[in-house]
Structure 1
């Protein structure tokens, strides 16, 4: 445990890992997803995580020609740890000014999914959250979600804050643009109970 904390125990380190679990990001995108973290601290954490073999920097080819940060295979093994911490933390009170990044919200869906609530639901639901697109699948009590879009039974188009309100705070579905099967969208939103303390 001490050796693990030497690699990822500094403040913000696991939040950087969380932001990379769903795929590579540019420095600018990481910084935007972690608004309470200064760019200097982000740079330092990325250097430390690179040195520990958790993160690597990669240059994208044309036409993007940009650098991105991504988890190494070793870093990706932290997913279970991050999800377990997220599950544990979900039972703690949310700070009044607390907002979730898009990736944090998507991971919150993974940690709070209830197979019992999903019942016999079998559906594909596309989530369009600003510039980010995700495809969620519910089938036989199993839940998966990843970046990208594909044909879906229902599509929810909104922002992260509104989706959080729809899923965890009981907001009405009228606050999001829904295409496809509205009943599927409503059932999907009911699959994520707020954990009790």
Structure 2
């Protein structure tokens, strides 16, 4: 088994939890869904995880075939971790769990948010029906020292690492600040004026970006 504990249950759900159900395991997977990361990057993007726990989870996930060690090409030339093809198949699981969990009345939207988590949320809450009126744009997002490209076109959304040639806007800010603008109704101009984000380029194009996403409202707590 990939983990020390097991449910000893033939159900696929139980075996899935044997593989990725240990604390932090699925979040390690989440952080690799946009591509490989070095150990130090994972440690930084998961600030609550202990060094020993991270090493153990990486070892377990590698043993189970979910991820593998790779050698990054020059100039980095260091060891990193990437998901296997089977590991990448967990993205729909992560996105479905996200969509389900954010409806909890106890969900804290102000807690830590990694750049990868924010970018995956764009894939999760993208609503093609909202873009059929012609909402489109090309954006370069700079977060936590990483660069990502986001392209809206013809009812589709592209989210991945990398730069863009001639983006409509280059946006710099913390993932939590960008999430407030995209999902929390925080006015982009107010966020810019407050120094929470920086927008270089077409401000109006970036201001239209939140309209492409649909964030589910929280459930109403049941009456006692």
TM-score tier (shorter): over 0.9
After superposition, the CA RMSD in angstroms is 1.6
Q: CA deviation at 1:193?
A: 3.1
C-alpha change, 1:11 and 1:183, in structure 2 (3 Å) is same
Which residue does 1:163 correspond to in 2?
Answer: 178
Aligned length: 197
* Correspondence list, 1:17-166, <5 A: 17-92=29-104, 93-95=106-108, 98-118=111-131, 119-151=133-165, 152-166=167-181
Shift of 1:28: 0.8
Bigger-Rg structure (1/2): 2
TM-score by length of 1: 0.93
**How much does 1:172 deviate?**
2.4
Q: Which moved more, 1:92-101 or 1:76-85?
A: 92-101
Shift of 1:189: 2.4
SS at match of 1:70: strand
Residue by residue over 1:65-122, the C-alpha shift from the partner in whole angstroms, topping out at 9 and shown as x without a partner, is: 2110100111111111111111112222322751211101111111111223333212
- After TM superposition, the score normalised by the length of structure 2 is 0.82
**CA distance in structure 2 between the partners assigned to 1:157 and 1:8 by the alignment:** 33
State the alpha-carbon separation in 1 of the partners of residues 77 and 109 from structure 2.
Answer: 39
List runs of 5+ in structure 2 lacking aligned partners: 1-11, 192-196, 219-224
User: Structure 1 unaligned runs (5+)?
Assistant: none
Is the Cα contact below 8 Å between 2:71 and 2:78 reproduced in 1? yes
Q: Deviations over 1:26-48 (max 9, x none)?
A: 11110111111111111111000
Partner of 2:213: 192
CA contact 2:65–2:87 (8 Å) conserved in 1:
yes
CA contact (8 A) 2:25 2:61 kept: yes
Q: Using the alignment, how far apart are the partners of 2:201 and 2:85 within structure 1?
A: 37
Q: Partners of 2:214 and 2:109 in 1: how far apart?
A: 20
